[in-house]
Structure 1
Amino acid sequence: MPHNNQQTKPRRSRVFKLLRWLVVLFLIGGLSGTVFVLYNPFISEVDLRQLLRPNLQASVLLDRNGEELLTLSPSRVAWTPLEKIPLFLRRAVVAVEDRRFYEHRGVDFQGVLRAVYYNLRRQERAQGGSTLTQQLVKNLLLTNVKTIPRKLVEIGYAVKIEQNYSKDEILEAYLNGIYFGHGVYGVEGAARFYFAKHVWDLSLAEQATLVGLIRGPELYSPYRHPDRALKRRNLILEVVLGQGLLTRREYEQLSALPLEVEEDPSYLTMGGYFADYVVDWLAQQYGWSVQYIRAGGLRIYTTLDAYIQRIAEETIAALPKDEKGGPEAALVALDPKNGQILAMVGGRNYRFSKYNRAVRMRRQIGSAIKPLIFAAAVENGFTPDTLVVDEPVTYTVNGRPWTPQNADDEYRGVIPLRDALAWSLNTVAVRLVDELGVPTVFAFLQRLGLPLVASGARNDKALAPLALGGLTEGVTPLELCTSFTALANQGLRSQPLAVLRVEDARGRVLRRGSIRQEQVIRPETARAVTEMMQGVIAYGTGQSADPGRPAAGKTGTSNENTDAWFIGYTPELLAVIWLGNDDRRPLRIDGRDIGGGTAGKYWGSFIRQALVRNSVKYF
């Protein structure tokens, strides 16, 4: 019996805390709210039409040929009049989110008590305490920070809205602006996203699924948490059953149905990662707000090639998967002549993860650094035919002996420099860094645009990282691609360019993008290293990457096999592919390790398909 009392005390404590909170809310809302709303000069009239409807000019992203890629604010485009939204969905939203919606005047203290009681009984947050009007205010005008002043402002705006708009107008605005997860807003957008249908074509079970998402879009995502989403849908059906919106038989039939969602390719247009990159770039470059960029009616002409982007996304989608659905991947493709971004993919599936690995993820590049090391040697007097020695050698690094080893534990003696790169020999790469000097190689890599840690140029600790790609902070796929533009274009390094021009809704040009290039190495050096990199694909470690046309490239695999790379180019296309797990697990599929060779295989497939319409060009 004492044990039961111990269990009861924490539960009672929680109840008392909730009751104290409700008393405070009643006092603040009831006594202060009215005065605040009526006499606070900062609470102005709220014009929902001005706030939502006229701003339905979503900005549009276009490719280099003027083809529309996607709109940056699809939720604000798919505005649906209330009469076209199914009556069951409307009633279900009111039953779950704000049962007394048609009775209160913006704030419902009775509803707060009812929601707390119901949720405590169910041990789940099935009902909310805020009214639909308060939620609308929070979504449109305020932040999610939970403070008493913010709550008072929310109450004030809710009352003002109720004074100026009918219940149906408020409900219409709410249903068109509520967030449904995965970057989707509004019931029509959600219907198209999850079910590939218009909202008026949804079944009752599908409508209940959408209603269940409102309270926790990411928590109940049917893509990420299907079991949780199914349970939530059935809970919604139970709530509306209690409201008399369903018969017992209908409830039993609907709750027995499986959770079926699908994708709508016409809605989920390609280029999501690239679009985010463009939005971030415009915001940083010109100080524009994200809201203006996405919904300012802009026409943003980009460097992207729609055909090449589609091939890039299909290439990443075709990658093999392990038992956990990995590895993740990224692909960036540039025009080697000017640095214009032709394709960008930041992950396997944009809807599941918007983290853009192409520009935000830093990883070690392994042997993908070797063409740059060999370029430093050529810049300092070596040629592809210069003889180098491949044999065991020991260095003192940080006071300790260190003996670099080749991946195959074999040594080939005296060989030409071109073969050392083709076979990706670690010993030769380390010898070159040692002979040229760490500061010389460090400065050379910086000229090419590779991000390095400055302290590494001043001591012997940098010998191994510089030679074998173990850079201290890692490199993003876009950064690696950028550093190779000098090799692919006669020594001219190009800054990546994503935007050609931006026009406003009237067609006036607001900004123009510009090509920025710098001669960082001799053209002769670029040509020599390109020739050696062709050998990598012709007879070296990158044979799996052969695209069936002249190409130069290099594999890369990091320590412990956590990252796999292939970087390469043809005369008209420069691209990099990265494979790896977000949690840095070693790359293993079907019980075998994968590395740069696998990345090369898919790189070759991408190049072959991307250039299938182009005639063969030679370096």
Structure 2
Amino acid sequence: MNRVNWLQRIIILAIGVNLLIGCTSAGTMEPPEVPVPSKIVDANNRLITTVSQVNTVPVELDQISIHLQQAIVAIEDERFYQHQGIDFKGLGRAVYQNLISRKIVQGGSTITQQLAKNLYLGPERTFARKAKEIYYTFQLERKYTKKEILNMYLNHVYFGQGAYGIEAAARTYFNKSAADLTLGESAMLAGLPRAPSYYAPTTNLQGAKERQSVVLARMVELGIISPEEAQAAREETIEPQKQSENLKQAPYFVAEIIKYIESKYPDGLEMLYSSGLTIQTSLDLELQKTAEQALRQGLEKINPEINGALVAVDPTNGYIKAMVGGRDWQKSQFNRALAKMQPGSAFKPFLYTAAIDAGYTAATVLTCEPQTYRQEGAPPYTPKDHKVGYHYRPFILKQALAISDNVIAVKLANMLGPEAIVRFAQAMGVESSLRPYLSLALGTSEVTPLEMATAFGPLAQAGIRTKPLYILKITDSNGRVLEEYTPQRAKVLDEKVAYIVTDMLRAAVTTGGTAAQLSQQVHRPIAGKTGTTEDYTNAWFVGYTPGLVASVYVGYDDKSKRVGLTGSDVAAPIWAQFMEQGLKDTPVEDFKEPDGVTRMEVSTTDGLKATELTEEKMEAVFVEGTEPKVPSLGEFWWQQPIDSGEGPGDLTDNTEESPGEERPENDDPWRNSIDNE
């Protein structure tokens, strides 16, 4: 009864206001509020785009199919031609149904009420707004005929996909005028105003058909059409045409912002198109343009069909500074920056981070030689390196990561246990599900480019992980803040571990590393890792400076096609162009060395402290007290790792296929990286 009393009070108040103003008010109605487009701006308040009511074509009532007129009245306001603006019978029925359901299951607004709201009021839901709505409803009924009201309503109601009004909707969804709509098409469009984003036939044809059936059933119930006509309408072949929004700047990023607003607010798209919102995002428009150019030019050098993604994140605050989800938005709106693909050896840094945290050092020695791993319920697994198979020699971990040795990576994963890799990857920012197989070290679980950029962030920022941010603030047309977000940080790694792994990854972009050419292309301290999956399906490079992490993916949407080149060949050059151009006006910054670490040259063959007689040596960073020393006679010379406590664990694999059998690409625990460029 409380809800009924509340509604009664609103109606009584509105009627009282209406009577006080008197009939003379009919000629002094306020003009409708002009829709104000929303603005999406970057972090520096530079305009990225406006989101406006760009698709509206007013028509007269006789230019609208009678089927559509009948359908919209049947489903939205069956007593439209009998009531005087407020349908008390319909309102009472809706209140009763809502009360017994203890939730809003029916609406009581008439077509005239909806028109009043669309013309004169904003999206807020308050007592005062409802009173104004009822007042304007009475004024509309007093001033205009029912046909005029229906005509205005059909020219203003939102049908989704940016289409305001029935003519725009008919053209958007069916490429025809409103006068030519069939009964089936009319019933489908009449069902859209209730939830245009959900029932849009271009994105949810099944849901649109279900809603169409509800409208047709209601028309039969009211005697407007026969059951046979309804059935024929249901059986019509309807093929909506797909249309994408014409987004010129940062289209993949902007699409995610629009998607967020649409899902967050009940009238999200209406708010965007007419309420004058200002959405301040994390994007840097100049970096975005640089990213788009770098990806486009890099892909053009390969072939016209290959695609890719580039996403850049500021690890200090989580701001997504650039996001390019593909080479051409007009051809494909699929955002590859948020799509899951196998990263290949670009995933190895999580393995090595787990190892350094567990007490292994950059000079721990492992040998690249044949080794078979037996696991319960699975055939034997014998990893190999690209091209050479095996090096048959020892490597220190820093060098093994720099050259991306697969055999040593799997051996290390076996020593740690793949569950440790999962824990560290997820703690650092990977949110996708990871399969705890030994081959996880080689990047066999699918992740997104955004996740990879986020998860490399703690290595760039002394072990601090920051949650990625799209939106900084949303304000309405009056400057009132609707949402505001600040960086969320968490310490996930010891700063010494992060610095040591960064030092190891710097070796990957210098002489002898898989992306050695980058040291000549990017003129500032950088670190990073290439990735190439089996059969050259995906190519990656993920790298960073202290203030920017960028992830680049290159591959075909059709996974039966092969890139034919490595991450070093195709992804690393795109990354280098983006970083060099994007950061050219920023100060050169080095990675800050934390307290408690020391540098030392070590032998790459035995991990000992290098001497004047050492032929093959490399500088490495160690936690103080763990650096190798020259042993006295009779001491063991190899580096003994500290047991992580995890051990190899139970590495049971329940698959029954052998490594040589055909398996789905996204479910193969033995799929190797070939990243020994």
* 1:521 aligned residue: 493
* 1:340 aligned residue: 319
Q: Distance in 1 between matches of 2:553 and 2:406?
A: 21
Opposite residue 522 of structure 2, the aligned amino acid is P
Q: Could you tell me whether the CA contact under 8 Å between 1:491 and 1:526 is conserved in 2?
A: yes
Seen in structure 2, the aligned counterparts of structure 1 residues 178 and 298 have a Cα distance that, compared at 3 Å, is closer
The structure 2 residue matched to 1:435, chosen from 408, 412, 415, is: 415
Does residue 416 of the first structure (1) align with residue 388 of the second (2)? Answer: no
Q: Provide, for residues 97-138 of structure 1, a one-character-per-residue CA deviation record: whole Å limited to 9, x for no partner.
A: xxxx78x48545xxxxxxxxxxxxxxxxxxxxx67x789999
Q: Provide, for residues 321-376 of structure 1, a one-character-per-residue CA deviation record: whole Å limited to 9, x for no partner.
A: 599842221111110112111011112222222222212x1111110111111111
Q: Give the secondary-structure state (helix, strand or coil) at the position aligned to 1:543.
A: coil
Seen in structure 2, the aligned counterparts of structure 1 residues 288 and 530 have a Cα distance that, compared at 3 Å, is farther
Seen in structure 2, the aligned counterparts of structure 1 residues 448 and 107 have a Cα distance that, compared at 3 Å, is closer
Q: Could you tell me whether the CA contact under 8 Å between 2:466 and 2:488 is conserved in 1?
A: yes
Opposite residue 500 of structure 1, the aligned amino acid is L
Q: Distance in 2 between matches of 1:355 and 1:586?
A: 18
* 1:389 aligned residue: 367
* 1:586 aligned residue: 561
Seen in structure 2, the aligned counterparts of structure 1 residues 66 and 415 have a Cα distance that, compared at 3 Å, is same
1:241-320, aligned counterparts within 5 Å? 268-282=247-261, 289-320=268-299
Q: Distance in 1 between matches of 2:323 and 2:570?
A: 19
1:110-121, aligned counterparts within 5 Å? none
Tell me the TM-score normalised to structure 1 length: 0.61
Seen in structure 2, the aligned counterparts of structure 1 residues 284 and 136 have a Cα distance that, compared at 3 Å, is closer
Q: Distance in 2 between matches of 1:565 and 1:137?
A: 55
Q: Distance in 1 between matches of 2:63 and 2:589?
A: 71
Q: Distance in 1 between matches of 2:65 and 2:272?
A: 34
* 1:98 aligned residue: none
* 1:470 aligned residue: 444
Q: Distance in 1 between matches of 2:302 and 2:343?
A: 25
Q: How large is the RMSD of aligned CA atoms in angstroms?
A: 4.5
* 2:549 aligned residue: 574
Q: Distance in 1 between matches of 2:350 and 2:325?
A: 24
* 1:377 aligned residue: 355
Does residue 564 of the first structure (1) align with residue 529 of the second (2)? Answer: no
* 2:223 aligned residue: none
Q: Distance in 2 between matches of 1:353 and 1:162?
A: 46
Q: Could you tell me whether the CA contact under 8 Å between 1:587 and 1:595 is conserved in 2?
A: no
Does residue 450 of the first structure (1) align with residue 433 of the second (2)? Answer: no
Does residue 406 of the first structure (1) align with residue 385 of the second (2)? Answer: yes
1:298 deviation in Å?
Answer: 1.1
The structure 1 residue matched to 2:346, chosen from 352, 368, 372, is: 368
Q: Give the secondary-structure state (helix, strand or coil) at the position aligned to 1:400.
A: strand
1:216-231, aligned counterparts within 5 Å? none
Q: Provide, for residues 27-69 of structure 1, a one-character-per-residue CA deviation record: whole Å limited to 9, x for no partner.
A: xxxxxxxxxxxxxxxxxxxxxxx9x973622221111111111
* 2:337 aligned residue: 358
Tell me the TM-score normalised to structure 2 length: 0.56
* 1:57 aligned residue: 36
Seen in structure 2, the aligned counterparts of structure 1 residues 331 and 55 have a Cα distance that, compared at 3 Å, is farther
Q: Distance in 2 between matches of 1:288 and 1:164?
A: 26
Q: Distance in 1 between matches of 2:367 and 2:303?
A: 43
Q: Distance in 2 between matches of 1:166 and 1:300?
A: 34
The structure 1 residue matched to 2:148, chosen from 159, 165, 190, is: 165
Larger Rg: 2
Does residue 604 of the first structure (1) align with residue 576 of the second (2)? Answer: yes
Seen in structure 2, the aligned counterparts of structure 1 residues 163 and 600 have a Cα distance that, compared at 3 Å, is same
Opposite residue 565 of structure 1, the aligned amino acid is W
Q: Give the secondary-structure state (helix, strand or coil) at the position aligned to 1:165.
A: helix
Q: Distance in 2 between matches of 1:496 and 1:284?
A: 19
1:470 deviation in Å?
Answer: 0.4
Q: Give the secondary-structure state (helix, strand or coil) at the position aligned to 1:493.
A: strand
Q: Distance in 1 between matches of 2:64 and 2:308?
A: 48
* 1:549 aligned residue: 524
Q: Could you tell me whether the CA contact under 8 Å between 1:563 and 1:580 is conserved in 2?
A: yes
1:185 deviation in Å?
Answer: 5.1
Q: Provide, for residues 554-610 of structure 1, a one-character-per-residue CA deviation record: whole Å limited to 9, x for no partner.
A: 11112232211111111221110111222213334xxx5454531111111111111
Q: Could you tell me whether the CA contact under 8 Å between 1:404 and 1:430 is conserved in 2?
A: yes
- Structure 1: 5+ residue stretches without partners: 1-49, 83-89, 91-100, 109-129, 143-152, 191-208, 217-264
Q: Distance in 2 between matches of 1:302 and 1:497?
A: 8
Structure with greater helix percent: 1
Seen in structure 2, the aligned counterparts of structure 1 residues 319 and 164 have a Cα distance that, compared at 3 Å, is farther
Q: Give the secondary-structure state (helix, strand or coil) at the position aligned to 1:370.
A: helix
- Structure 2: 5+ residue stretches without partners: 1-28, 79-109, 116-140, 169-174, 186-244, 592-677
Opposite residue 496 of structure 1, the aligned amino acid is P
Q: Distance in 1 between matches of 2:298 and 2:501?
A: 29
Q: Distance in 1 between matches of 2:356 and 2:264?
A: 37
Q: Could you tell me whether the CA contact under 8 Å between 2:372 and 2:383 is conserved in 1?
A: yes
Q: Give the secondary-structure state (helix, strand or coil) at the position aligned to 1:320.
A: helix
Q: Give the secondary-structure state (helix, strand or coil) at the position aligned to 2:578.
A: helix
Q: Distance in 1 between matches of 2:557 and 2:72?
A: 36
Q: Distance in 2 between matches of 1:323 and 1:418?
A: 32
Q: Could you tell me whether the CA contact under 8 Å between 2:35 and 2:273 is conserved in 1?
A: no
1:275 deviation in Å?
Answer: 1.7
Q: Distance in 2 between matches of 1:521 and 1:306?
A: 31
Q: Distance in 2 between matches of 1:134 and 1:325?
A: 49
Q: Could you tell me whether the CA contact under 8 Å between 2:460 and 2:547 is conserved in 1?
A: no
Q: Distance in 1 between matches of 2:524 and 2:307?
A: 28
The structure 1 residue matched to 2:509, chosen from 526, 537, 540, is: 537
1:552 deviation in Å?
Answer: 0.7
Does residue 489 of the first structure (1) align with residue 461 of the second (2)? Answer: yes
* 1:349 aligned residue: 328
Seen in structure 2, the aligned counterparts of structure 1 residues 554 and 323 have a Cα distance that, compared at 3 Å, is closer
Q: Provide, for residues 466-517 of structure 1, a one-character-per-residue CA deviation record: whole Å limited to 9, x for no partner.
A: 211101xx11111121111111111111110111111111011122102111
Opposite residue 287 of structure 2, the aligned amino acid is I
Percent sequence identity over aligned pairs: 32
